[in-house]
């Protein structure tokens, strides 16, 4: 089976997102994973969203939230066609490794929802 080609529109947005996340999070950003329709071959230009998982060195912190929210607002200003079509879950690597046994702080932006966090 041949690997799925990531659509150029999704690849360009993911690269911009990665650079913006690096600016806000610095070395705490360990990885950004792209998944969903952009990686399975079912992406529809102008309709599909972009699904990502940002893995952090530590749990998202309260002071990260304002910077990440502003970053996402700016991303939509720069890429208006992607308004309401960018999904990111921010989790620590420990949360990713242990999600079945413990609950962990996370932050999320999802289409149709405001930027949010499950921090206490």
pLDDT of residue 116: 75
Q: Tokens standing for 64? A: 């990260």
pLDDT of residue 102: 85
Find out whether 92 and 57 touch, Cβ atoms under 8 Å: yes
CA–chain centroid gap for 3, Å, is: 22
- What would the pLDDT profile of 25-46 be if each residue is shown by its tens digit? 999 999 999 999 999 999 999 9
pLDDT of residue 110: 86
- CATH of 8-111 given 3.30.70, 3.40.50, 2.40.160, 3.40.1130: 3.30.70
Domain spans in the chain, listed from the N-terminal domain onward: 8-111
pLDDT of residue 55: 98
- What would the pLDDT profile of 50-66 be if each residue is shown by its tens digit? 999 999 999 998 888 89
**With bands split at pLDDT 50, 70 and 90, how would you rate the model's confidence at 82?**
very high
Average pLDDT, the chain: 90
Distance CA 74, CA 106 (A): 21
């Amino acid at each position: 089976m041949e690997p799925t080609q990531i659509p150029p529109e999704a690849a360009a947005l993911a690269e911009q997102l990665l650079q913006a996340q690096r600016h806000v999070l610095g070395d705490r950003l360990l990885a950004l994973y792209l998944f969903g329709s952009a990686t399975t071959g079912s992406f529809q230009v102008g309709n599909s969203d972009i699904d990502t998982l940002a893995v952090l060195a530590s749990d998202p912190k309260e002071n990260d939230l304002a910077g990440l929210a502003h970053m996402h607002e700016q991303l939509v200003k720069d890429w208006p066609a992607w308004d309401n079509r960018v999904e990111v879950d921010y989790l620590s690597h420990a949360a990713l490794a242990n999600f079945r046994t413990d609950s962990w702080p996370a932050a999320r932006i999802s289409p149709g929802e405001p930027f949010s966090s499950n921090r206490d």
